[in-house]
Amino acid sequence: MAFRIVIPQTGITPKYVSSGSKSASIAVNNGKPQVVPCTTTCNATVLAPIGTDTFAVSLYDDTTAKGHLLSTGSLTQAVVAGQANTVNISFNGVIASLAISATPNLIPGTTASVPITVTAKDAAGYTIVGTYTTPVSLTNSDTSGDTQLTPSSISDSSTPITLTYNGAGGFPGTNVAAASGPIAATPFAIASLKTTCLNSRTGGAPLGLYPCDVQNAYSLASATTAGTGKTIAIVDAYDDPNAESDLAVYRTEFNLPPCTTANGCFKKVNQIGGTPYPATDPTGGWEGEESLDLDAISAVCPNCKIVLVEANDATSPNMYTAVATAAAMPGVSAVSNSWSGMEYSGEQAEDAYFHHPGIPVVFATGDYDYQAGPQYPDASPYVTAVGGTSLQADSSARGWTETVWNNYPSYGSIDQGTQGGCSLYEPKPAWQHDLGCPNRMTADLSAVGDPYTGTAYYDTFASGTGWSVIGGTSLAAPIIAAVYALSSNTASINDGSYPYTHASQFYDVVSGNDLGVSGIGLSAACVGPTLYFCTAETGYDGPTGIGTPTGAGGIDPLSANGRRAIPARSPDVAARMAKLRGRPTYRLCPPPTTPKVMSCMAIRVDTTGL
């Protein structure tokens, strides 16, 4: 009798004959199979005895039926002499890979039923329509019992699958559905699962951006297991005796896991890695800086361990020694420095303090607008220099808009904005290709720094008021350091060059400038081929570098963040931030006026009475 199998040229037929089929193996009654090549059809003549026969057919992706099996089918039926016999075989697709997706927004306290889509593909890459040779089993690793998968096994693409959430507490983003078929599939975490922004207070919540807002704005899947096993070192001057207790209040407020000396998450050392700790800052400013750094790291990477290294004072020998100590601490993945000072002749001889291959060293560029020029150590080629942006919630697809941080003229005649420019002393690194500056150009990257769009932070030493809102490039620097820690390839980073090779994977800030009131007279130096020194534009520019993070992608394109839960932003963020407009601001540290004396780059918003 004659066999004829039609190979579809576009799409897949319901009976599932794969468009990738190039040969068929046909066996009658478990006899020796006959192999025939397929073009648009598979044609074969087979011997089938009169009576009841079993026909088994397998389709392959090569011409010899020895390649990848794409689909199979079998049928037992009677063969009658003297007439045409038709064998209608339904083929089952053989799964080579699985893709599982869902787009839920699970909100603790409310129940939800979320559809989950399973897409199976054969070895030729075609989507399987119809039944599978082996059912797909789904397992739910949510041990808390907050979710239930129905059904737990599916045999075809039309089976509806749902994830039912019972509204219990916790973060639904920790729920993972794992799929298995004939070929092992990668464990799956719901790709776009969004958790709400949790805040533990029932009233009187802090102002400023919350951890979930920062994570949402920069597409950081930080609330699950991201960052586990990573350590970030923070370098500051003087001792903050309230550092650990203030950090505990902040993390409790936003439902972040505890980070204490007792559980091994938090460690504080002096500039040579031990104790006793240095004296406190007579002005109280550096203690506020330390609270900012600890809170910012916690907001972006709640699962990271933190080492706080306190220098004896703000002079360069002690600060630089503290950086070297921080980089030498066991397990450190990144070093955050929210301070800087004036450039000076001979600074190149100090660059070695910041050269720690495999450990990104991050510095703030400063808060005194373009006219203040680049600073040091952020001008060193071995560091990532981080500028500041203004981050506003909006209705765009991203949900946020970012511009260069500059509070002039919106908030008066002030020099308050991101800083940077063309270095006076550091030569051009090979990895920078802007044409207007013959030397090292800063910034490299950026993140939110505008205090009027800043983050909530808690400090009882410097401010004495507890909750407030903080900004400055002091905020941007630890955000970038934490993003580095969230990636998995910091061991390959030796200087500030790595993000430049992945510029397309950052949000490009293209609006705004950092000319403060004192910089108006300098505008002539910021036009034409050097306009990018102080003005955002497509591609690289001085105020924001190559852009702000979009996940850890620009730093680590192979990171697993895309498979983890990204939290939704807090629902009242826009209204909450609007309350800050026009409020008084205070610098925690005086401006740098003496070479080799460092200044922190933090600006606090006075929220008294709000």
pLDDT digits (tens, 9 = 90+) for 117-137: 777 888 888 888 778 877 777
Which pLDDT does position 397 carry in this prediction? 85
DSSP string, 131-187: EEEEEEEEEE--TTS-EEEE-SEEEETT--EEEEE---SS-GGG-EEEEE-SSB---
Query: How large is the average pLDDT for residues 94-106?
Result: 68
Give CATH superfamily name and number for 211-605: Peptidase S8/S53 domain (3.40.50.200)
Q: Which helix (H) or strand (E) holds 316?
A: helix 316-328
CB atoms within 10 A of CB 331: 10
Query: How large is the average pLDDT for residues 485-498?
Result: 81
Cβ 193 vs Cβ 106: under 8 Å: yes
Fold of 2-93: Immunoglobulin-like (2.60.40)
Each domain of the chain, given as residue ranges in start order, spans 2-93, 97-192, 211-605
φ, ψ at 445 (rounded to 5°): -135, 180
Query: How large is the average pLDDT for residues 572-590?
Result: 92
Q: How confident is the model at residue 311 (pLDDT cuts 50, 70, 90)?
A: very high
Which pLDDT does position 508 carry in this prediction? 95
Query: Is the CA virtual torsion 182, 183, 187, 192 positive or negative?
Result: negative
Cβ 449 vs Cβ 292: under 8 Å: no
Which pLDDT does position 564 carry in this prediction? 42
Fold of 97-192: Immunoglobulin-like (2.60.40)
Q: How confident is the model at residue 358 (pLDDT cuts 50, 70, 90)?
A: very high
Decide: helix, strand or coil at residue 275: coil
pLDDT for residue 561 is more than 80? no
Q: Quote the CA–CA distance of 270 and 329 in Å, as a whole number.
A: 12
Instruction: Check if 97-192 and 211-605 are the same fold.
Output: no
Query: Which one is predicted more confidently, 369 or 141?
Result: 369
Highest mean predicted confidence (pLDDT) among 2-6, 28-32, 331-335: 331-335
pLDDT for residue 263 is more than 80? yes
Which pLDDT does position 230 carry in this prediction? 92
Decide: helix, strand or coil at residue 266: strand
Query: Which one is predicted more confidently, 306 or 518?
Result: 306
Which pLDDT does position 422 carry in this prediction? 94
Q: Quote the CA–CA distance of 312 and 318 in Å, as a whole number.
A: 6
Query: How large is the average pLDDT for residues 526-547?
Result: 93
Give 312's DSSP letter.
S
pLDDT tens-digit series, residues 588-607: 999 999 999 999 999 999 98
Amino acid present at 207: L
Which pLDDT does position 5 carry in this prediction? 62
Which pLDDT does position 20 carry in this prediction? 85
Which candidate, 356, 371, 357, 327, places its Cα nearest to that of 521? 371
Which pLDDT does position 174 carry in this prediction? 34
Query: How large is the average pLDDT for residues 522-549?
Result: 88
Q: Quote the CA–CA distance of 535 and 378 in Å, as a whole number.
A: 19
pLDDT tens-digit series, residues 172-214: 433 334 445 544 444 444 433 445 566 666 566 799 999 989 9
Q: At what angle do helices 285-300 and 243-253 cross, to 10 degrees?
A: 40
pLDDT for residue 431 is more than 80? yes
pLDDT for residue 521 is more than 80? no
CA separation, residue 487 to residues 211, 231, 331, 517 (Å): 18, 12, 14, 39
Which pLDDT does position 201 carry in this prediction? 62
Query: How large is the average pLDDT for residues 492-519?
Result: 84
What size, in residues, is the chain? 610
Token pair of 379, please? 């001008």
Q: Where are the beta strands (DSSP E) in 354-438?
A: 361-364, 375-376, 384-393, 400-404, 421-427
Q: How confident is the model at residue 241 (pLDDT cuts 50, 70, 90)?
A: very high
Q: Quote the CA–CA distance of 414 and 77 in Å, as a whole number.
A: 89
Token pair of 72, please? 């199979």
pLDDT for residue 543 is more than 60? yes
Q: Quote the CA–CA distance of 568 and 194 in Å, as a whole number.
A: 6
Which pLDDT does position 558 carry in this prediction? 31
Cβ 477 vs Cβ 386: under 8 Å: yes
Q: How confident is the model at residue 234 (pLDDT cuts 50, 70, 90)?
A: very high
pLDDT for residue 7 is more than 70? no
Which pLDDT does position 487 carry in this prediction? 81
Query: Is the CA virtual torsion 542, 546, 551, 552 positive or negative?
Result: negative
In whole numbers, what is the pLDDT of the chain averaged over residues?
84
Query: Which one is predicted more confidently, 288 or 15?
Result: 288
